Each structure stands twice: as structure tokens, then as C-alpha cells.
Chain A
Amino acid sequence: DAGVIQSPRHEVTEMGQEVTLRCKPISGHDYLFWYRQTMMRGLELLIYFNNNVPIDDSGMPEDRFSAKMPNASFSTLKIQPSEPRDSAVYFCASSLAGRSYNEQFFGPGTRLTVL
């Protein structure tokens, strides 16, 4: 299995530009999570989906952030417009339901730099 796939691995953009991060979860997994990691705040859950439906988006910092999951094999996290304080590593993770559903498999992350 290829694991969770994220693209791009690195993104450098200028303030005000739209940024789209992409994630392909592990086949068969029905939960998908988006996280943001910074030195100051550690790993923060932004939003998670179950069977392509958003369950909890309370971690999304503001309306500039949006996430979609149009099908079981693809999700996007969009920032529009981007700001320097959005610079961080963004991780996508997926897991299976059941008592062990909490075991999350993380992708390699996208390092975002907003100038």
C-alpha cells in the first residue's frame, strides 16, 4: 500500500494568493483528518470527515480555510486568501472505523510558506 499521499510536498506562495493542498487517503479508510503543525502550537486538528461527510470543522481557524472531500479517495484543503501566519506543515491522515479507528496513518505533509 502506498500510504497516505499528499501534494505538493512544498509550497511557497505570496500573501493573498489561493493555496490548495491535496490528499489521497489509504484505500478503504473511511475517516480523513486535516492537521496543521507549528512549533508554537504543535499539531492541531482542523477538520475531519467520515464517509466523505465533514463531522467536525471547529478547528478551522477562519473562513479563509475550507475543505472538501468529493469522493472516498480525494480531499482538498484550500486557503483563500493566504496570510504569512498560515505558514506551517499541513498533514492529512486517514483511519478505519471501529474501536481501533483512532489509529491514524499520516501522510508526509505539505510544508507551506506564505511570504
Chain B
Amino acid sequence: EDQVTQSPEALRLQEGESSSLNCSYTVSGLRGLFWYRQDPGKGPEFLFTLYSAGEEKEKERLKATLTKKESFLHITAPKPEDSATYLCAVIGTYKYIFGTGTRLKVLA
């Protein structure tokens, strides 16, 4: 069965304290893995798409990487405005499956 698991569920960091979020997946025929950011009371906002193992994408303080079994979202020197829920999603066999997210809180 296709599945996406994100860890940790919640993460508190001090401003400037780098860390990584994990997204593990099992899916038949991976067509793409996606990272979204969701702020309270808003819809998810697209961050990255990764299509094949070894691929990396960067945007400001965020860097996403992909292997055959998992993806990491690395946050370098985070700021309070990076606080949000980060969602991972995969497409396999025409199915879009979202993980339950990691709630990130960055303290000033």
C-alpha cells in the first residue's frame, strides 16, 4: 500500500539552529515527491518537486533531497518566519498521498 510518513511530528528550534525533516515513502511507480509549507489558516504553498533519486533543490534556507526511500528537507540557520507545518506528498500510480506534516517552531 502506498504510504508517506513524516518525522518528527513537531520540532522546536532556536533561531540559527539547523536541522532536517524526514519524509519516508513506499509507493509503486514514484512519479514525484513534493514539499509544501502550510501556515495556520491557509492552504499549502508549494516549495519543491523532486523526480528522481539523487536530485536536490534549494530555496533560500531550505534544501530538499531525495533517495529511493526518503526525502529530507534541510533547514539552514532558520528564522522565526520559517515556523510552519511542512508537508510532504508523493504521486504514485496516479495517487496523490500527503503525509501528516512536521510542525516547525523557530524561537527567536
Contact = CB atoms under 8 A, between A and B. Distances in A.
A30 to B, nearest CB: 16
Contacts of A104: 44, 46
Contacts of A93: 43
A80 interface: no
A71 interface: no
Interface stretch (A14-22, A40-48, A62-70): A40-48
Contacts of B42: 108-109
Contact of A102 (B41, B91, B95): B91
B47 to A, nearest CB: 10
A6 B47 CA distance: 22
A25 interface: no
Contacts of A91: 43-44
Interface residues of A, number: 23
Interface size bracket, B side: 20 to 34
B49 A103 contact: yes
Contacts of A107: 43
B78 interface: no
Contact of B34 (A44, A55, A102): A102
Contact of A106 (B31, B45, B91, B99): B45
A53 B42 CA distance: 27
A109 B43 CA distance: 6
Interface of B: 31-32, 34, 41-46, 49, 51, 87, 89, 91, 94-101
12 contacts: A4-B43, A33-B96, A42-B87, A42-B99, A42-B101, A43-B98, A45-B95, A45-B98, A48-B96, A99-B51, A102-B34, A106-B44
